[in-house]
Amino acid sequence: MASPRYWKPRLVFWAGALAIGVISAGFAAVADQAQELFSRVTQGGGWSDYLPLLITPLGFVLCAWAAARYFPGSQGSGIPQGIAARHLRGDEDRSRFLSLKMIVGKIVLTVVGLLCGASIGREGPTVQVGASLMLQAARIGGMAHARGLILAGSAAGIAAAFNTPLAGIVFAIEEMSRSYSARTNGVVLAAVIIAGLASIAIEGNYTYFGVTDAVAAFPKDWPLVIVCGLVGGALGAAFSDLTLRLTRRIRRIRAVQPMPRVILVAAVSGLVVAAIGVVSGGMTFGTGYTEARHAVEGHHLPILFFLGKFIVSLASTVSGIPGGLFAPSLAVGAGLGSTLGQIFGTTASLAAVLGMAGYFAGVVQAPMTAFVIIVEMTGNHDNILAVMAAAMIGYGTARVISPEPLYHALSRLFIADVLRQRRAQAAEAAAADADRRTDQPAAAE
């Protein structure tokens, strides 16, 4: 019989991957219900249409306050925290971002954010949840290579959240690690398979945005491919650059009177989201899943939908509440593509898919992840060359405008926080030690 030292780590690893799939499926169901409840309450006609002007700012304040007070490190997407944890060596430092407590806070506050209409997604938070679960599995199972297991948990989170196993693997290699390792990627593959099977067993096999068979004809539709890449990449770079600039400025503002400033930023952000949401008839609230799927299935969106969704997604991202970028970014891309499709006179379905590829690649600057995830989410395998081209053009355009990839730049801010806290703790310990030394002679006298 094999030694417990052989089978215990494997059993714990398998259990961790299964937990990622199960929790991802449950998270998805609760998040969808939260968004549907917000829509029912605020879109009943009459005075209820203006309820977001009250509900959304108050919800933002509640989420931002709870995140800062009880779950520091839960703010925003969750992907930068996973990247930061891979770069940190100490177990205590990693636990600031990846822990069982963080899992609870991330899920609960993301759901509350959707309950109040925030333009956020659950996919980035699922990455942080998956990484946290795998890090706990590493501790319980006595497994080494925590960095590889964090990577595996992140990939499994993306795969389970979108039902996109290939995208989970590519995301881990391209965005989380930016390198290839045969040993690590074997662990990633195993985690993705197990988590994906668990998610499918609960939710069934599905394509996230439905299925489209739209294909870019050559050469007729390739001007649209190029324009979606160029405009989408430029707009994605603008989102990334504005997010970084505003985040850094807000962090400086919050350095003085942290909690009052946290509440002020959240309230203003929530008011912006509410006002645009009310003007748009509720279209810009939430993940944007319904609107993006509508476009992918062949229906053009309002011409300025993408601009409204861009602004509310930016406000939600910098507000200090937990929530991801993936779904809202794909909705912005679908809206942009729909608008360009109306200008070029092409089908909404083709234009939406190309717009998603160009814009999403511009935001995250991970072109392989962009085209793989979009092809898997739409079942649009016959159109892979055009989607790939739009993503690559979007990526190249974004690199020229904003050379700093968004998630990695944000991760450095989290790492800086840890180093700052570590220096403060060391200074306190040194001061306490100095006090003890000065007290000892006095006691001796």
pLDDT in tens, 296-355: 998 999 999 999 999 999 999 999 999 999 899 999 999 999 999 999 989 999 999 999
Spatial distance between the Cα atoms of 417 and 407, rounded to a whole number of angstroms: 16
In CATH terms, 222-406 corresponds, of 1.10.3080.10, 2.40.180.10, 3.30.70.1880, 2.40.50.140, to 1.10.3080.10
pLDDT in tens, 269-281: 999 999 999 999 9
Residue 254 CB neighbours (<10 A): 17
pLDDT > 70? residue 442: no
What mean pLDDT comes out for the span 113-135?
A: 92
Most confident of 29-43, 138-152, 423-437: 29-43
With CA atoms as reference, report the closest residue to 247 among 420, 63, 409: 409
Spatial distance between the Cα atoms of 120 and 336, rounded to a whole number of angstroms: 18
pLDDT in tens, 171-209: 888 877 765 555 566 778 888 888 888 888 887 777 777
Helix, strand or coil, per DSSP, at residue 71: coil
> Which stretch of DSSP H or E encloses residue 221?
none
Spatial distance between the Cα atoms of 118 and 126, rounded to a whole number of angstroms: 17
Q: Give the model's pLDDT for residue 295.
A: 92
With CA atoms as reference, report the closest residue to 181 among 167, 195, 192, 169: 169
Span 4-203 CATH architecture: Orthogonal Bundle (1.10)
pLDDT in tens, 209-262: 778 888 888 889 999 999 999 999 999 999 999 999 999 999 888 776 688 889
Numbered ranges of CATH 1.10.3080.10 in the chain: 4-203, 222-406
Spatial distance between the Cα atoms of 356 and 374, rounded to a whole number of angstroms: 7
DSSP 17-78: HHHHHHHHHHHHHHHHHHHHHHHHHH-SSGGGGGTHHHHHHHHHHHHHHHHHHH-TT-SB-S
